Structure 1
Amino acid sequence: MAGLYDEGFTERLRQGALSLRHEWGLGPDADVRLLTLSENATFLASDPGRAPIILRVHRPAYHTLAEIESELAWIETLRASGAIDTPAPLTLASGGHVAQFSDGNDTRHVVGFAFMPGDEPSAGESLAPGFELLGAISARLHRQAQGWQPPQGFTRKTWDFDSAFGAQPLWGDWRAALGLDDEGRAVLETLCDVLKRKLDDYGKGADRFGLVHADLRLANLLQDGDKLGVIDFDDCGFSWFIYDFAAAISFYETEPYIPALQAAWLKGYRTIAPLDAEHEAMIPSFVMFRRLLLTAWIASHAETQTAADAGHGAYTAGTVALAKAYLQAEA
């Protein structure tokens, strides 16, 4: 990989994770290998005679220790309630859930999770039954979040218009998008104006805004027979509940089967909780919100494999085309 994510970088993180193996009871013969690298680095740790575990090495200067611990607190609550199937955070030998090692001038936090079997679902029309399951999962998540009193000190980021597109956007400025020309910039400026107005009108009432997973895309789902597990709560935070559907179709927003997936998601959701027409009507706006947010992420993480897979400038062009169609439909 180019840029920051070269082999030396990933090996340094692997060695850092390996140096902490005793915290999860791994022996000297444990093998640690890279699974994925996007924002965080995720490793599979295997040790003869025991089940494998997942180690997540956090990027620095993004989540605080309190934010990471808050994520794990919600996961444990969700597991206890039976709302979803998600891997358990693992307790360290020294106590707590978050280990750390020094990486130059940075401190890297590391979290261990139990291994969950399953495969990432494949994109396509055959996803519809899975999206019905995902709709029900989303509704259970939202219902649990609405009735849960977080512990003192609970803190997670907020995914709203200001944090996404304001003066200090969490994932960077979409105006730096790769291949964006003056015409495309004008379209996306208009999109921002429309999104802000619609989101302000929609509001943040308790029936529509709360704690969400915020990244239920295919890469964070594990299909095992008729079961659908959810992983990677790293982006969980406070946002609109419908945003979880928009995140679920990340990088596939223009595919012709999206309406079928939306219908399946809504059907599944409504088996658990009501969702009236006002919320359903906001789905296209949240799809554009997520698409523009990802366009900013790709621009600020151009060296990652995720950005390369998305097509860099081609993804920007697709965002502009999708925005034009959205604005025409909203006119």
Structure 2
Amino acid sequence: MTDSLHPFARLDPSRVVAAVESLGFWLPGEPFALNSYENRVFMLHDDERRRWIAKFYRPGRWSNEQIQEEHDFLDELAAADVAVAAPWRDDGGVSLHDAEGFRFALYPQISGQAPELDNPAHLFALGEVIGAMHAVGEQQGFSHRRRLDLDEMLSEACEAVLASPWLERRQRQAYRQVTDELQRALADRGWAPQANIRVHGDCHLGNMLGRDDTFGLVDFDDCLMAPAVQDIWMLLSGQQSDEWQMQLSEVIEGYEQHREFDRRELALIEPLRALRLIRHSAWLVARWADPAFPMAFPWLAESRYWDQHIRQLEQQRRWLDPPMP
């Protein structure tokens, strides 16, 4: 069941407008809700025709200190001419604002389209902007945001799924078996990233926008300390070896315009893929009380989804097997 009294249920358009106008803006039109689930995000324009993105943070997810580190990182990146949208600050330098119990921030809108991963020029441009971001990210570390810990994050996600009511008994047994095997395989493979730096954390196509082979990065909500390859592996979508190698070559060539990439981190791609598969389902389970989730992901409650998910994990388990001698 969902909880109709979820905090975001109170975040209607009038409250969004009132929150933004409390900062001294005047909004002549209604905010437009964007496709965001973890937080609530709205596009709007002010009386000077400037376009803004208003991001209302999910209550209880991040501390003020963690959000502030996100904002400060964006300021560093913008100062280094990396293509990101730094948060608006008031005359006192404040970027994280409060209204009726909601914490929110304003960002100038970055417009454009998602890149095409079969376009070499786009891949080069994506590598270039990620490399420029990492060149700044390695200069210091986060103090409050998470560090990518494979064992800890896998355990958290598996426990969340197993504690949920969605799996049938046979599915629960199969899920436990395959995730135990995955964790053992990952432990045998080893998890020793050469270096953790500040990274975006969620570099999928929806968080990269641009045109004419120039792209910017948006939504740093998941930024953390992690190996550089965390921001690269999702760009490598090729199903055939030659296609995959082409994508990797273009991304790394662009990346190394700003920073050297440690090729040893490529061995972390399949462990990171396994982590993302498991955490995605755990995320859906954890957010089910938010009314937006049952509407957007109704198949979570279907038995066939969990059968398919278990098969995915079994396939990923085979990818982690060592090559035959």
Shift of 1:71: 0.5
Deviations 1:214-251 (A, max 9, x none): 111122111323211110001101122222234557xx
Q: Distance in 1 between matches of 2:167 and 2:158?
A: 18
User: Which residue identity lines up with residue 230 of structure 1 in the other structure?
Assistant: L
**1:237 equivalenced with 2:224 (yes/no):** yes
With 294-303 and 71-80 compared, the bigger mean Cα shift is at 294-303
3-state SS of 2:197 partner: strand
2:71 maps to which residue?
72
Contact 1:136 1:265 in 2 (8 A): no
With 59-68 and 44-53 compared, the bigger mean Cα shift is at 44-53
Deviations 1:277-330 (A, max 9, x none): 432232122111211111211222245459945953565444433332333341
Contact 2:27 2:45 in 1 (8 A): no
Gap change, CA 1:223 and 1:7, over 3 Å in 2: farther
With 257-266 and 17-26 compared, the bigger mean Cα shift is at 257-266
**1:137 equivalenced with 2:134 (yes/no):** no
User: Which of 95, 98, 104 is 1:97 aligned to?
Assistant: 95
3-state SS of 2:202 partner: coil
Shift of 1:121: 4.2
Shift of 1:137: 2.6
**1:44 equivalenced with 2:43 (yes/no):** yes
1:215 maps to which residue?
202
User: Which residue identity lines up with residue 264 of structure 1 in the other structure?
Assistant: Q
3-state SS of 1:19 partner: helix
Q: Distance in 2 between matches of 1:234 and 1:67?
A: 10
Contact 2:27 2:47 in 1 (8 A): no
**1:278 equivalenced with 2:264 (yes/no):** yes
User: Which residue identity lines up with residue 318 of structure 2 in the other structure?
Assistant: Q
Superposed counterparts of 1:225-304, under 5 Å: 225-247=212-234, 256=239, 260=243, 263-271=246-254, 272=256, 273-302=259-288, 304=292
1:224 maps to which residue?
211
- Give runs of ≥4 in structure 1 deviating > 6 Å: 5-8
2:32 maps to which residue?
33
**1:155 equivalenced with 2:144 (yes/no):** yes
User: Which residue identity lines up with residue 177 of structure 2 in the other structure?
Assistant: A
Q: Distance in 1 between matches of 2:57 and 2:241?
A: 32
With 50-59 and 93-102 compared, the bigger mean Cα shift is at 93-102
2:185 maps to which residue?
194
**1:85 equivalenced with 2:71 (yes/no):** no
1:325 maps to which residue?
315
TM-score, normalised with respect to structure 2 = 0.80
Shift of 1:158: 2.0
3-state SS of 2:118 partner: helix
Shift of 1:94: 5.5
Q: Distance in 2 between matches of 1:45 and 1:172?
A: 39
Where structure 1 has 5 or more consecutive residues not aligned to the other structure, the ranges are: none
- For these two proteins, the number of residue pairs brought into alignment is 310
**1:62 equivalenced with 2:39 (yes/no):** no
Q: Distance in 1 between matches of 2:213 and 2:14?
A: 37
Report the RMSD for the aligned CA atoms in angstroms.
3.4
3-state SS of 1:192 partner: helix
1:108 maps to which residue?
102
Q: Distance in 1 between matches of 2:19 and 2:235?
A: 33
1:184 maps to which residue?
175
Gap change, CA 1:310 and 1:29, over 3 Å in 2: same
Contact 1:76 1:88 in 2 (8 A): yes
TM-score, normalised with respect to structure 1 = 0.79
User: Which of 91, 101, 117 is 2:111 aligned to?
Assistant: 117
Gap change, CA 1:126 and 1:256, over 3 Å in 2: same
Shift of 1:28: 5.6
User: Which residue identity lines up with residue 134 of structure 1 in the other structure?
Assistant: L
Deviations 1:36-88 (A, max 9, x none): 33110001122233211110000111111111111011011111112x31112
